Structure 1
Amino acid sequence: MDTKPAVSAGAVTPLAVVNLGLTVEEAKKVQRLLRDHWGYYTDKIGGKVGPSTVMALQRWLQATWGYNGEVDGDLGPEARAAFTRMANACPNC
C-alpha cells in the first residue's frame, strides 16, 4: 500500500504564495474585477495570479490605495503594504 500523500506541501505552497493566498475561483474574481470594473487587466481569466495580474493590481493600487512603486509585476513590500491597506479597509470587497 502506497502511503505517500497525493500532493506535497512544497507543491502547494508556491501556488498559494503566487496566488496571494487566493483560490483559483477567488483569483478569477479579482481578475474579472480588475478587467470589467476598472480596466486594468487585459489578459485571460485563468485564476492564476501571475505578472500580468500583479501589474494590473499595482496600477489599481496606484490609483486608489497609495501605492507609489513600480508597475513591474513583482508584488514587493510596497505593493503588499498597499494591498494590505485595501484588504483591511474593505474586508468584504
Structure 2
Amino acid sequence: MEVMLNMLTSTSYEWTSSAELLCALKPPLMRLCARYLLQEKEGGKALDSVANFHLQNGAMVERLNWMAGRSEKGLRQGGCIMVNYMYRVEHIEEYA
C-alpha cells in the first residue's frame, strides 16, 4: 500500500506510461474510488465536494472512467479516474 501511495503522489507520474503498472493498479484504485465516492461520508455527506453536489441533487454514479483525466490536475486530484453522474428526470424534482 505504501508503494502504491508513493507512486500516486509522485510528481513524475512515471507509472502512467507503464502498461504493466496500469494493469495492476486499475482494480484496486477503481474499488477505492467507488468506495470513497459512495461510502465514505462525514455528517451524511460525501467527502468529495463534487460527488456530494451531484449525489445530493439526485444523481447516481453511472461510471468510473479509468485513465480519463491524464492532465497534471487530473493525475494529482483523481489518479486519472473521472466520474460520470447520471440524473434521472423523475428524481430531479424530489431534490430541487
Aligning the two structures, in what range does the TM-score lie when normalised by the shorter sequence?
under 0.3
Query: What TM-score do the two structures reach when normalised by structure 2?
Result: 0.27
Query: What TM-score do the two structures reach when normalised by structure 1?
Result: 0.28
Higher RCO (CA < 8 A, seq sep 6+): 2
